[in-house]
């Protein structure tokens, strides 16, 4: 199976889980943050929502990473803005990676800050590390924010304290 196809399969599968978490973001808490050093709920939501746009970044040979954006990301104005940004980003990723071959994804991608290389890896490695794994980390962080706000945490890989997708199966035997 081609590398791009494997990455896109995982992205699509995980996007369903991520969307369930993003859908729980309470509209009236977008500026809430658990600690002064933490992203606000709206900033974290937008950071996660931009996941798919990283595929376009991976298609460049060298990318200058905007430090200011990392330190002070935009805050969502609504949950719908987060969901729309997420849907657009996932669509962008599918389009950007759909026709990429293994040789292209094995070629080196370089990330720089102020012209200084901070990361130089095969594109597929960048996609795994940043577009996928990095976002799973932040999705977990968002689920903790939800718990702290007494919002029901959805099932991600299995039951949460609020949602058990297997309960109906266990009760009916199906």
> Hey, what domains does the chain have and what are their CATH numbers?
3-172 (1.20.120.450)
How open is the CA angle 70-20-174, to the nearest 5 degrees? 150
Query: CA 67, CA 155: separation in Å to the nearest integer?
Result: 33
48-76 pLDDT, tens digit each: 999 999 999 999 999 998 877 667 789 99
Per-residue pLDDT of the chain (174 residues; tens, 9 = 90+): 999 999 999 999 999 999 999 999 999 999 999 999 999 999 999 999 999 999 999 999 999 988 776 677 899 999 999 999 999 999 999 999 998 999 999 999 999 999 999 999 999 999 999 999 999 999 999 999 999 999 999 999 999 999 998 886 555 555
Is the pTM higher than 0.85? The answer reads yes
In degrees and rounded to multiples of 5, residue 117 shows phi and psi of -65, 125
Q: Are strands 108-113 and 62-64 parallel, antiparallel or unpaired?
A: parallel
User: How is residue 33 written in tokens?
Assistant: 């943050």
């Amino acid at each position: 199976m081609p590398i791009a196809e494997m990455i896109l399969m995982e992205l699509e599968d995980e996007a369903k889980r991520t969307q369930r978490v993003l859908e729980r973001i309470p509209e009236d808490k977008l500026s809430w943050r658990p600690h002064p050093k933490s992203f606000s709920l709206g900033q974290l939501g937008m950071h996660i929502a931009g996941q798919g746009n990283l595929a376009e970044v991976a298609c460049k040979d060298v990318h200058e990473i905007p430090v200011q954006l990392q330190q002070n990301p935009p805050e969502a104005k609504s949950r719908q803005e987060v969901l729309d940004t997420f849907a657009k980003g996932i669509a962008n990723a599918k389009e950007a990676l759909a026709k990429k071959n293994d040789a292209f994804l094995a070629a080196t991608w370089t990330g720089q800050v102020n012209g200084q290389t901070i990361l130089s890896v095969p594109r597929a490695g960048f996609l795994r590390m940043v577009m996928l794994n990095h976002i799973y980390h932040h999705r977990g962080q968002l689920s903790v924010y939800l718990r702290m706000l007494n919002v029901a945490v959805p099932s991600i890989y299995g039951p949460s304290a609020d949602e058990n997708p297997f309960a109906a199966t266990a009760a009916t035997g199906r």
